A and B are shown apart, each in its own frame.
Chain A
Amino acid sequence: MSQVLEINRVSHTFGDVRALHDVSFGVARGETLALVGHNGAGKTTLFRLVLGFLPTQCGGISVNGFAPGTRNAQRDVAYLPESVAFPKTLTGEEIVNFYGRLRGCSKQAARDVLDRVGLGDARRRRCGGYSKGMRQRLGLAQALVAAPQLLLLDEPTSGLDPSSRHTFYSLIDEIAATGTAVVLSSHGLNELQNHVQRVAMLSDGHLLACGHLDELLANAGLSLQLLVRGGAIDTETIASRFGGRMRRDGRCEIDCTTAEKLAVVRQLLALDAGLAELEFRAPGLNDLYRHFAAETPMAKQERIT
Chain B
Amino acid sequence: MRQMFTVALLELRLGIRSRWVLLSTLTLLFFAVLLVFLGASPTTGLDADPITLLVASLATLSVYLLPLIALLLSFDSIAGEVDRGTLQLLLATPIRRSELLLGKFLGHVSVLAIAVVIGYGLAGGLALAQAEGSVTATSITGLLRLIGSSVLMGAAFVALGLLLSALARQTATAAAMAILTWLLCVVLYDLALLGGLVLAPDGFFAQTLMPYFLLINPADAFRVFNMALLDLGAASTGLVGTEDVLPFPAAAALASPVLATLLVLALCIVRFKRIQP
Please report which residues of chain B, range 228-256, place their CB below 8 angstroms from some CB of chain A when the two chains form the complex: none
Q: Are A99 and B13 in contact, CB atoms less than 8 angstroms apart?
A: no
Q: Are A90 and B13 in contact, CB atoms less than 8 angstroms apart?
A: yes
* Stretch of B66-74, B88-96, B151-159, B219-227 contacting A (4+ beta carbons < 8 Å): B88-96
- A79's partner among B10, B13, B88 (CB-CB below 8 A) is B88
Tally A residues with Cβ within 8 Å of B.
Answer: 27
Given contacts A83-B85, A101-B3, A102-B6, contact A89 B93 (CB under 8 A): no
Residues of B whose CB lies within 8 Å of any CB of A are: 2-3, 6-7, 10, 13-14, 17-18, 84-86, 88-95, 276-277
Q: Are B84 and A53 in contact, CB atoms less than 8 angstroms apart?
A: no
The complex places the Cα of A229 from the Cα of B110 at a distance, in Å, of 74
Q: Are A89 and B94 in contact, CB atoms less than 8 angstroms apart?
A: no
30 A-B contacts (beta carbon < 8 Å): A48-B276, A48-B277, A53-B88, A53-B276, A74-B92, A74-B94, A78-B92, A79-B89, A81-B88, A84-B84, A84-B86, A84-B88, A84-B89, A85-B84, A85-B85, A85-B86, A86-B84, A87-B14, A87-B17, A89-B14, A90-B13, A90-B17, A98-B10, A99-B89, A101-B2, A102-B6, A102-B93, A102-B94, A103-B94, A142-B89
A74-B93, A81-B88 known; 6 other A-B pairs, CB under 8 Å? A53-B88, A71-B94, A90-B17, A101-B6, A102-B94, A142-B89
**Which residue from chain A places its CB closest to the CB of B99 in the assembled complex?**
A102
Q: A77: CB under 8 A from chain B?
A: yes
Q: How would residues 65 to 95 of chain A score, 1 for a CB under 8 Å from any chain B CB and 0 otherwise?
A: 0000001001101111111111101100010
Q: Taking the nearest CB of chain A, how far is it from the CB of B20, in angstroms?
A: 11
Q: Which of B13, B18, B88, B92 has the most CB of A within 10 A?
A: B92
The complex places the Cα of A87 from the Cα of B93 at a distance, in Å, of 18
* Residues on B with beta carbons closer than 8 Å to the beta carbon of A79: 88-89, 92
**Which residue from chain B places its CB closest to the CB of A145 in the assembled complex?**
B93
The complex places the Cα of A43 from the Cα of B276 at a distance, in Å, of 16
The complex places the Cα of A75 from the Cα of B84 at a distance, in Å, of 23
Q: Taking the nearest CB of chain A, how far is it from the CB of B68, in angstroms?
A: 22
**Which residue from chain B places its CB closest to the CB of A102 in the assembled complex?**
B93
The complex places the Cα of A103 from the Cα of B90 at a distance, in Å, of 10
The complex places the Cα of A71 from the Cα of B14 at a distance, in Å, of 27
Q: A298: CB under 8 A from chain B?
A: no
Q: Taking the nearest CB of chain B, how far is it from the CB of A22, in angstroms?
A: 22
Q: Taking the nearest CB of chain B, how far is it from the CB of A35, in angstroms?
A: 17
